[in-house]
């Protein structure tokens, strides 16, 4: 069978299975299976596929129709223009999480500031490591309770050539003693300039979570007790006393958690301003607290 024929059949198959981005997924998977760039597919339409190539592609297509996300099949996902290695031990980076990066860049008075960054529940490392790329003099303490997640984050730090500016801490993010000891050790001061987190924030009984998210992504990265608010509230409270005078604290949250988190951040009494940042769909997505002197 020629490549064009295989691509067309795959697209149709995905459409029949109600996969939304049928063409994109088919192109990404076939390119991956054939070790080509996506654009090269179009230059090789008439190339016949060998039995081995067909078998490889068939296997990738089968995984997709069973619901596995493309990012896990490819082992990579782009976030803020950088490629992140991913596997089933980490949450797949989401575009809405990029708002955290944008907010830090808006806040940052100085691109060359020697900021102390802490990323709680770093997963793939997408938030903290992207900030290190954007802020070349900053240092990061990246915390996760999953050893397997930290392995992924470490690989990403190496690939992004920022490994010398990260300290990874295998710990419950709520264990401030351990995290702050690492901050002091690595940054020379126990105070934080930029605290970022995309904690688990989905309520256990949330009916809107996609089946395949639940089936393939790590449960511990998704769900939180107390209507999803537990880690947002706990972590912001625990780390607020350790923020530097002009610090920023940004956490991703669920679309219905804005009012509760605004109140919660305000009650900490350390922020001059507390704001809800909306995502591109117009939904409440990030809570931002900024100190000021
Ligand atoms: N910090 C990672 C991300 O934003 C992981 C978040 C998580 O596992 N809840 O993708």
CA of 122 to the centre of ligand 1 (A): 5
221 lines ligand 1 (CB under 6 A): yes
**Mean pLDDT, to the nearest integer, of 85-112?**
96
258 lines ligand 1 (CB under 6 A): no
Cα angle 161, 162, 163 (rounded to 5 degrees) comes to: 100
pLDDT tens, 154-172?
Answer: 999 999 999 999 999 999 9
Q: Which residues pair with 143 in a beta bridge?
A: 120, 169
Residue 81 to residue 9: CA distance in whole angstroms: 31
Q: Which contiguous run of DSSP H or E holds residue 223?
A: none
Q: Is the dihedral of CA 103, 119, 189, 116 positive or negative?
A: negative
CA of 102 to the centre of ligand 1 (A): 16
Residue 20 to residue 25: CA distance in whole angstroms: 9
202 lines ligand 1 (CB under 6 A): no
pLDDT (0 to 100) of residue 109: 80
177 pLDDT band, cuts 50/70/90, is very high
> Looking at the predicted structure, is the pLDDT value of residue 292 above 90?
no
293 pLDDT band, cuts 50/70/90, is low
> How is the beta sheet containing 243-252 ordered, strand by strand?
166-170, 139-144, 116-120, 192-197, 243-252, 284-290, 273-278
Residue 38 to residue 267: CA distance in whole angstroms: 50
**Mean pLDDT, to the nearest integer, of 67-81?**
97
- Closest CA to ligand 1's atom 8: 221
pLDDT tens, 28-45?
Answer: 999 999 999 999 999 999
pLDDT tens, 82-97?
Answer: 999 999 999 999 999 9
Phi then psi for 58, rounded to 5 degrees?
Answer: -60, -40
- Ligand 1 atom index nearest CA of 122: 1
> Looking at the predicted structure, is the pLDDT value of residue 59 above 90?
yes
Calculate what percentage of the chain has a pLDDT beyond 70: 100
């Amino acid at each position: 069978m020629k490549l064009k024929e295989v691509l067309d059949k795959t697209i149709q198959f995905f459409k029949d299975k109600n996969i939304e981005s049928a063409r994109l997924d088919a192109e990404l998977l076939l390119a991956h299976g054939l070790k080509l760039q996506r654009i090269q597919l179009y230059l090789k339409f008439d190339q016949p596929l060998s039995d081995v190539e067909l078998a490889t592609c068939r296997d990738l297509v089968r995984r997709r129709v069973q619901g596995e996300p493309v990012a896990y099949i490819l082992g990579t996902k782009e976030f803020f223009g950088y490629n992140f290695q991913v596997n089933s031990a980490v949450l797949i980076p989401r575009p809405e999480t990029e708002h955290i990066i944008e907010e830090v860049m808006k806040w940052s008075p100085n691109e060359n500031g020697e900021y102390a960054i802490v990323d709680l529940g770093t997963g793939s490392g997408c938030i903290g490591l992207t900030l290190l790329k954007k802020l070349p003099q900053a240092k990061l303490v990246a915390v996760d309770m999953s050893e397997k997640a930290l392995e992924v984050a470490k690989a990403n730090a190496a690939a992004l050539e920022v490994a010398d500016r990260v300290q990874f801490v295998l710990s419950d993010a709520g264990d401030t003693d351990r995290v702050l000891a690492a901050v002091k050790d690595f940054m020379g001061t126990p105070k934080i300039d930029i605290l970022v987190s995309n904690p688990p924030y989905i309520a256990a009984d949330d009916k809107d979570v996609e089946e395949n998210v639940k089936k393939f992504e790590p449960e511990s990265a998704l769900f939180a007790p107390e209507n999803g608010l537990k880690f947002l509230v706990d972590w912001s409270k625990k780390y607020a006393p350790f923020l530097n005078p002009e610090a920023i604290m940004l956490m991703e949250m669920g679309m219905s958690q804005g009012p509760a988190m605004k109140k919660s951040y305000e009650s900490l009494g350390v922020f001059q301003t507390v704001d809800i940042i909306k995502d591109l769909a117009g939904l409440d997505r990030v809570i931002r607290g900024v100190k000021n002197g």
